[in-house]
Structure 1
């Protein structure tokens, strides 16, 4: 883990620190299936989830938010034993282990919450950094949606469905 990095439950007060990098990442249109022009209100509603979901932030020793993740049931009812999670790391903090730390932490939270597996429904195939991270944490590609994502520079690329048991 990054020296001094702490992961904690996100609060409404964290939103002003999350929104700028979330807007930048989503606006780039390269890794998220959200509308590139998502409004702040809509993004906040999708990111700051309520129970049984959880949203966390990774902060450095100064309290600066470096990244965030959310954990939710992948489906309702009989499918709610499988978790789903989303992750965003501030571009300025990329490559410093924040994503890995968030991934490990969220896997631990999912286990503690009683989930039996975790599934990512839409990993963009050209996001090789994310794919490599999830594989290193035990995820496998269990499905592929051909040309399921309109990448702004690569054209239509595949979406990967990744899964691991907890």
Structure 2
């Protein structure tokens, strides 16, 4: 598996699984009917210090991440990131590899910490992964996420120093 900055040609291999993950309504705070044009603009923005990243094996995109500052101005030293692993590639270390890469890159880019603003509490695989990589749940917004099948569930804010 190779992890690298995404290029525009990766988008046609990212969009199908990104679309399906968002439409499922289980892990992302995006509108379930997000358009491809808007999703591409959000995900593929790579103007420094923002980055779009892919994990690939040959021509197959196994997963993707995006990272950049969580806020602007005097709070721009705290990074934020989002991750998606393509269905069929979960449980193979793709998420962990992307997470480790993003943490290393954020540190190299001069960020002092990373904060995840919206980790759905029922996404236990992600919560377990982020905890294993040193993140703490610093708050949970009760009923902060309307899950497609479980109704209102908590939304974690997770944090770790770099």
TM-score by length of 1: 0.96
Give per-residue Cα distances to partners, 1:110-147, cap 9 Å, x unaligned: 00000000000000000000000000000000011010
Task: Find the aligned partners of 2:41 and 2:98 in 1 and give their Cα distance.
Answer: 20
Q: Distance in 2 between matches of 1:51 and 1:19?
A: 22
Matched residue, 2:2 = 6
CA distance in 2, matches of 1:114, 1:51: 12
Report deviation, 1:63: 2.7
Q: Tell me how large the CA RMSD over aligned residues is.
A: 0.6
> For 2:100 and 2:141, how far apart are their aligned partners in 1?
26
Task: Tell me, yes or no, if structure 1 residue 72 matches structure 2 residue 68.
Answer: yes
Unaligned runs of 5+ in 1: none
Q: Does 1:41 align with 2:41?
A: no
Question: How far did 1:52 drift?
Answer: 1.4
Out of 50, 53, 63, the residue aligned to residue 50 of structure 2 is 53
- The two structures have a TM-score, normalised by structure 2, of 0.98
Distance 1:47 1:19 in 2: 10
Aligned to 2:131: 135
Determine the C-alpha separation between the residues in 2 that align with 1:111 and 1:51: 14
User: Runs in 1 of length 4+ with deviation above 2 angstroms?
Assistant: none
Q: 1-side partners of 2:25 and 2:53: how far apart?
A: 23
SS of 1:148's equivalent?
strand
What secondary structure does 2:99 align onto? helix
